[in-house]
Amino acid sequence: MAQPVEGFSKRSKDEKIRWLAENYTDYPEETQRLLKQYWNSDAQLQQLHDEFIENTISNFYLPLGVAPNFLINGKLYAIPMAIEESSVVAAASKAAKYWGCRGGFHAEILGTEKIGQVHFQYHGPKKGLQSFIEAITPQLLQDAEPITRNMEKRGGGVTGIELRDRTDGLDGYYQLHCRFETRDAMGANFINSCLEQFATTLLREAGNHPDLGGEAQPIEVLMSILSNYTPGCLVRAEVRCRVEELEAESGMEGAEIASRLVRAVQVADCEPYRAVTHNKGIMNGIDAVVIATGNDFRAVEAGVHAYAARSGSYRSLTGAECTDGMFRFWIELPLALGTVGGLTQLHPLVKLGLNILGNPGAPELMQIVAVAGLAQNFAAVRSLVTTGIQRGHMKMHLLNILNQLGATEAEKTAVVDYFRTHTVSHSEVVARLNALRQMP
Ligand code: MEV
């Protein structure tokens, strides 16, 4: 049985790998070879990746694809997507092409506000606390000035500090609820640094303050941290066309497809079991672009799902309607993204991804990402209400199955060719490959 290890982070990469392979794997030699096989031959590039995190032992590849032909607000984009799921890039490309000749995607920013909070405890008189916070607000801002100076030069900064009484939920619990504008930065470091400075000033100013009930230190700060719930950092994207412009599919006219699409979105809006899968399909597109552009997909996921549940029940992030002969399909969601700072200038493929997109600022990237989510949802729901999802899905999964079965290049070509006109299933692929192998 493996023993706890001391000082692991201080060991060399080789030592870490050997220790891991010998203590935790069934095939130590092969493990070491495999991990090193994924190292980059350019030592400098590898070192860059090693230093992103602690205890790096290798690299974990995800395919980087590109979905071309996205017409967004009249500008044509090729969107980089990092994702392992076979059908996602294909579906995005298909939706881009579909809407490219129907006016493209229309996107707009509804807000760019970020939130951070200093959570603290206080049991003195409430009235005194409110006047105390109002009195020290200029000091809070002044003490944070060394942190905010550069951001202010770029048009950002702290846009509000407000005392919130949350004693309804928890005895003695208050917060400084702070608003920020972070321009092209996602802003996590900026916000957290400001908040920690606010906490320091708050404690200093509270000591022996006459309005706060006479205690030497009436306030206890619990923590200072940004919120990943960003309903004020919001983007909307839409596609629209006349119903008769929608393509027929699987024997269904455009009008029938439109009404089935609207119904499917209504189902997701009122049924959480469906809404979660519906929104997961949206996140297929969103996360892929968020990762390819070096943004924090966990932050985006957390914020988006909280937004989907803002009414008290978990609902669809997209909407659809058919009125006066017009079909409209839209998405509205919070996206706290950055195009400067973090990994954006550090990871060579992220830098390239942003370059492919024309080096957008954060608001433009928010629009592109929202469009990727909308396109993905349109493609998925359209398939679901017409052909069903498995036809396209399995077609894209075919190469994965063939690779699993160890097919040669010649076998892959022959089997892919066969399934152009046949329905893919795992057992059918096995049967076809076996038949091929038995041929003289
Ligand atoms: C699969 O990754 C995503 C879908 O399930 C989305 C949906 O059902 O809308 C196809």
Q: In angstroms, what is the span from residue 278 Cα to ligand 1's centroid?
A: 6
Question: How far apart are the C-alpha atoms of 415 and 432, rounded to whole Å?
Answer: 7
pLDDT of residue 435: 94
Hey, whose CA ends up nearest to atom 3 of ligand 1?
281
- Residue 285 CA to residue 215 CA, distance in Å, equals 54
State the average pLDDT for the chain: 96
**Cα separation, 129 vs 163, whole angstroms:** 9
Q: Quick one: which atom of ligand 1 is closest to the CA of 389?
A: 10
Residue nearest to atom 7 of ligand 1 (CA): 278
What pLDDT band is residue 397 in, cutting at 50, 70 and 90? confident
What confidence score (pLDDT) does residue 152 get? 98
Q: Which two tokens stand for residue 44?
A: 């400098």
Band of pLDDT at residue 175, cut at 50, 70 and 90: very high
State the Rg of the chain over Cα.
27
Among residues 29, 42, 39, the alpha carbon closest in space to that of 59 is found at 39
pLDDT tier at 405 (50, 70, 90 boundaries)? very high
* Any ligand 1 atom below 6 A from CB of 209: no
Strand partners, 81: 65
Kindly state the helix (H) or strand (E) to which residue 221 belongs, with its residue range. strand 219-227
Non-local CB neighbours of 98 within 8 Å, separated by 6+ positions: 247, 378
- 381: its two tokens: 């729901």
**Residue 423, amino acid:** T
pLDDT of residue 392: 75
Closest residue by CA, ligand 1 atom 10: 380
* Helix H or strand E segment including 330: strand 326-334
**Residues 411-421: tens digit of each pLDDT:** 999 999 999 88
* 421 Cα to the center of ligand 1, angstroms: 24
Predicted local confidence at residue 423, as pLDDT:
86
CATH code of the region 69-111+234-387: 3.90.770.10
Count H helices and E strands in the chain, helices first: 15, 10
Q: Give the pLDDT confidence of 335-384 residue by residue, as tens digits.
A: 999 999 988 989 999 999 999 999 999 999 999 999 999 999 999 999 99
Give the full edge-to-edge strand order of the sheet including 157-165. Answer: 157-165, 173-181, 113-122, 219-227
Q: Compute the distance from residue 240 Cα to the ligand 1 centre, in Å.
A: 22
Q: Is 296 a catalytic residue?
A: yes
Give 4's DSSP letter.
P
2: pLDDT confidence band, cut at 50, 70 and 90?
confident
DSSP 56-92: --S-----EEEEEEEEETTEEEEEEEE---TTHHHHH
Mean pLDDT of 15-43: 97
Distance CA 140, CA 197 (A): 8
How far apart, in whole angstroms, are the C-alpha atoms of residue 88 and residue 327?
24
Segment among 11-15, 183-187, 247-251, 345-349 with least mean pLDDT: 247-251
Question: Distance between CA atoms of 382 and 221, rounded to whole angstroms?
Answer: 51
Half-sphere exposure of 378 (CA within 13 A, CB side): 29
| Mean pLDDT across 188-192 | 97
**Coil, strand, or helix at residue 12?**
coil
For range 29-49, the mean pLDDT: 97
CA torsion, points 364, 366, 372, 375, in degrees to nearest 10? -90
278 touches ligand 1 (CB under 6 Å): yes
**Mean pLDDT, residues 234-254:** 95
Q: What dotted CATH number matches 114-226?
A: 3.30.70.420
- 288 membership: H or E segment, kind and range: helix 272-292
Among the listed residues 285, 283, 279, the one whose alpha carbon sits nearest the alpha carbon of residue 265: 279
Residue ID of nearest Cα to ligand 1 atom 1? 281
Query: Does 1 score more than 90 pLDDT?
Result: no
In terms of phi and psi (left: phi > 0; alpha: psi -120 to 50; beta: otherwise), the region of 213 is left
Q: What are phi and psi of 402, to 5 degrees?
A: -65, -40
Separation of CA 279 and ligand 1 centre (Å): 8
Residue type, 27: Y
Question: Residue ranges of the domains in the chain?
Answer: 8-50, 69-111+234-387, 114-226, 393-438
Residue 390 above 80 pLDDT?
no
End-to-end Cα spacing for the chain = 52
Residue whose tokens read 């942003």:
354
Give tens-digit pLDDT for 250-302.
899 999 999 999 999 999 999 999 999 999 999 999 999 999 999 999 999 99
**Does 69-111+234-387 match 114-226 in CATH topology?**
no
Beta carbons within 8 Å of 111's beta carbon, 6+ residues apart: 232, 233, 234
61-90 per-position pLDDT tens digit: 999 999 999 999 999 999 999 999 989 999
- pLDDT at position 32: 98
